[in-house]
A and B are shown apart, each in its own frame.
Chain A
């Protein structure tokens, strides 16, 4: 079974600045996938980025990038050049031989 922990219930960032959201996970599986999902006030769950555990290279999607530390079981999300539209709940999730397990989320506020 997998567990996902997000230790920051809330974070804030100034517009145009960079922010990093933390996530740690625990799994006994050798092959698994890690995800970050964004949930804006509209409630829609939107996939931000996906990382395959067997790949050493950190995934990047435009302003979003991850820092994947496999030995430490850490998977943080970095948002560069933060925009007002980035304000949302962010969920870290893991899957392997079982479907997605989510962390409790981090609420990100963006200050103009």
Chain B
């Protein structure tokens, strides 16, 4: 079965350290999304790409977060420096957009559980 692969599954780090999360979208999908899940805020959209081009990253703290797609098989989310409030589950999702509407089914990875001490 085709699936979105995220690594690492768990990450524990100390405040101030750099964190890089990786995502391999499903082959052939042309949209990639990064969501953050916390108990307080629920699922928040951080950034998204279509055909590898960043469309919107207004959901991310710009000073410390960055999202890139070096190629069609890899998306990365980086936090530098990390802070305790960044502790959350980070999900990557991919889909196949064929029209102007965001109507496609999204397939989610298993998420990265990040703990910043």
Q: Give the interface of A toward B (CB within 8 A).
A: 31-33, 42-47, 50, 52, 91, 95-105
Contact = CB atoms under 8 A, between A and B. Distances in A.
24 contacts: A31-B101, A32-B101, A33-B103, A43-B111, A43-B113, A44-B110, A52-B103, A95-B101, A95-B103, A96-B101, A96-B102, A97-B100, A97-B101, A99-B45, A99-B48, A99-B102, A100-B102, A100-B106, A101-B45, A102-B42, A102-B43, A103-B42, A104-B42, A105-B42
B105 interface: yes
Contacts of A47: 105-107
A100 B101 CA distance: 11
A98 B106 CA distance: 13
Contacts of A97: 100-102
Interface of B: 33, 42-43, 45, 48, 89, 91, 93, 100-103, 105-108, 110-111, 113
Contacts, number: 47
Contacts of B113: 43
Contacts of B100: 97
Nearest 8 CB-CB pairs, A to B?
Answer: A45-B108, A102-B43, A95-B102, A33-B103, A104-B42, A99-B102, A43-B111, A47-B105
B53 to A, nearest CB: 14
A100 B59 CA distance: 13
B45 to A, nearest CB: 6
Contacts of B103: 33, 52, 95
A99 B105 CA distance: 11
B84 to A, nearest CB: 21
Given A52-B103, A96-B101, 16 more contacts: A32-B101, A33-B101, A43-B89, A43-B110, A44-B110, A45-B106, A45-B108, A46-B108, A50-B105, A97-B100, A97-B102, A99-B33, A99-B102, A100-B106, A104-B42, A105-B42
